[in-house]
Amino acid sequence: MNRPFKPWGFLGAALVAALLAAPQLGQAHGGVVAEEDVCLLRMGFLQAHFTLYLPDGRGAEEFCEEVPDVGPTLFVIEYLHEMMKEMPLSFRVISDDQGFGIFANWDDVQSIGNLEAQTVLHRPLVAEPTGVVTLRHDFAEAGGYIGIVEAENPANGKAYNAVFYFEVGNVGYGLIPLFVGLIAAAQVGFWLSTGTLQRFLRRLR
């Protein structure tokens, strides 16, 4: 015996899937992860607190991967491992001209032919004994950017890196496309189950 299809059950399942996916998508952008209201920069097993500030307009308000306004922006990296104080570390910000977005990774960075041409901020490999790296950049244009962090262990020459995407000026749409897509999929599924879509297509022939 066939059970009647319940469109709201299907739609509800789709929305639940979206809600479950939302934290994962919002908290796993490359090498930066939002964890318990703290933004962590991960380079292999190495970790550091990563915070963005808009000192001229937002005071001490903290940001992670979405900076709402263009203008002077402060980058603060606080090491969580003592050994990192002895490791030369570089920090670079490039414009996301290729459109890699939130899934940008190290392979994507290496595929860029002329990295300097897209660089808007660069701190070369330098050790920071205080364990806190502070950099300032004045963003003149809204858009997507990619942060690239590289560290080198002087004891064995091993290299570590992190790549993460962030936006300046609220240029993204967040998870709205995901929700729209799931709702559309639920509606199409309903039409297919009731035969509505098939009847409509037959009329067009």
Q: What is the mean pLDDT of residues 80-93?
A: 96
* 200 pLDDT more than 60: yes
The whole-number pLDDT of residue 182 equals 62
CB 103 within 8 A of CB 65: no
Cα–Cα distance list, 161 to 57, 83, 147, 202 (Å): 31, 15, 10, 56
Separation of alpha carbons 192 and 142, rounded Å: 42
CB 107 within 8 A of CB 76: no
**Cα dihedral across residues 60, 66, 71, 76: positive or negative:** positive
Q: What is the mean pLDDT of residues 117-123?
A: 97
The whole-number pLDDT of residue 125 equals 94
Q: What is the mean pLDDT of residues 99-105?
A: 94
Q: What is the mean pLDDT of residues 178-201?
A: 66
What angle (nearest 5°) sits at the alpha carbon of residue 122, between those of residues 119 and 123? 170
Average pLDDT of the residues of the chain: 81
Task: Name the DSSP class of 100.
Answer: -
Identity at 114, one-letter amino acid code:
N
* β 66-67/159-168 pair status: parallel
The whole-number pLDDT of residue 33 equals 66
- Give the model confidence (pLDDT) of 36-58 as tens digits: 557 899 998 999 999 999 999 88
Chain centroid to Cα 190, Å, comes to: 33
* 24 pLDDT more than 50: no
Chain centroid to Cα 141, Å, comes to: 18
- Give the model confidence (pLDDT) of 126-183 as tens digits: 999 999 999 999 999 999 999 999 999 998 999 999 999 999 997 544 444 545 556 7
